Amino acid sequence: MRNASDPTSDLRRAVDRLPAATREAMLAGIRSNDIIAGAYTDDDGGICPMLAAHRNGGRTTLLAFARAWDGFAGARRVRRATHRELRVLEGQLKASLLKEADWVDLGAAIADHETLKAAAAFATADPEPEITARRLTPGRVRGLRPRRDARRALRRLDRELAVV
């Protein structure tokens, strides 16, 4: 089966191939610099994500990332990266770093969540027994409408609610 070859998947694979230190440096770099697509630099001080990583300590050169970034951005000429493109790149960098993190233990997180849920349920438990009512269908509601005697309708409603 052939791998997906859309620009977003290509960018994700390129991000995953970067060393972790470079991904961290790129994350810091895209947050603190004007990022462009379509070139290494521009005349207005904009830089590509790889140069941003390089300036923040990530000394890696990966041509596949540059091609994937320009392909994702659809850059035919030098231009500023859009907010959407930067959000996608930032999200992919974060996801890639989290995927390799040793401290992520989903089993422990689920167990903690279940413990907190049980504690919250115990803390909010009402000492009185819960009264469950039968579902009031349109026919029952129609029968409960006070036509002549409101007290009779209220007594009937109380009987309906008391039946479990």
Q: Which residue in the block uniquely carries the two structure tokens 């041509």?
A: 63
Q: pLDDT tens for residues 103-156?
A: 656 677 778 888 888 887 776 665 555 555 556 566 555 555 545 566 777 777
pLDDT of residue 116: 84
Helix (H) or strand (E) holding 6: none
Domain limits, the chain = 7-100, 131-164
pTM (two decimals): 0.60
Kindly calculate the radius of gyration of the chain based on its CA atoms and give it in whole angstroms.
30
What are the residues whose beta carbons fall under 8 Å from the beta carbon of 132, sequence distance 6 or more?
A: 164
What are the residues whose beta carbons fall under 8 Å from the beta carbon of 15, sequence distance 6 or more?
A: 23, 65, 68, 89, 92, 93, 96
Q: pLDDT tens for residues 28-42?
A: 999 999 999 999 999
Phi–psi pair at 146, nearest 5 degrees = -75, 115
